[in-house]
Amino acid sequence: MSQVEKRRRHRSDDEIRQAVAEFAESGMGRQEFAALQGVSPTTLDNWRRKVGKLDEAKSQSRSRLVPVRVQSNAGNSESLEIRVNDRWAIRVSRGFDEETLRRLLEVLAKAC
C-alpha cells in the first residue's frame, strides 16, 4: 500500500480509538506516532478530539447512578428525606403530591 493510499484509508471509530489508546501508552511525541500511523499530526489531533467526543456522548447516554445510604428514621415515620450528593435535600411528609415530587426529581436528574 502506498503512502497516499495509507493516508486516505478510512478508519473505523474502533480503529481510531485503538490508535489513540496506543498513542497515550506509547510515550512518543505526536509527530513520531503520527508518522508510524501514516497520518499527519493534525489527523492524530483530530482523532483524539473525536475519541473525546465519542466518550462524552457515551457517558451522557448512560443513566447516571448515584450512591445512596439508607438510614433508619425510627423516631420520625411521618416524613421521608432524600439527600443527593450533600447538595440537595428533599423532605416529603405523608400525603405528599407524587406528581410534583416526580417533576422535581426529573429537574434534579438533568442538573446532575
Could you tell me the pTM of the whole model? 0.46
Q: What is the pLDDT of residues 36-78, one digit of tens each?
A: 999 999 999 999 998 888 777 666 655 566 666 666 665 656 7
What is the DSSP-derived secondary structure letter of residue 62?
S
Q: Is the pLDDT of residue 7 over 60?
A: no
Q: State which amino acid sits at residue 56.
A: E
pLDDT at residue 4 is higher than 80: no
Phi-psi region of 21 (alpha: psi -120 to 50; beta: other; left: phi over 0): alpha
As given in the structure block, the three cell numbers for residue 54 are: 465519542
Task: Measure the N-to-C terminal CA separation of the chain; round to a whole number of Å.
Answer: 49
Name the amino acid, one letter, at 60. Answer: Q
Helix (H, G, I), strand (E, B) or coil at 72: coil
DSSP, res 38: T
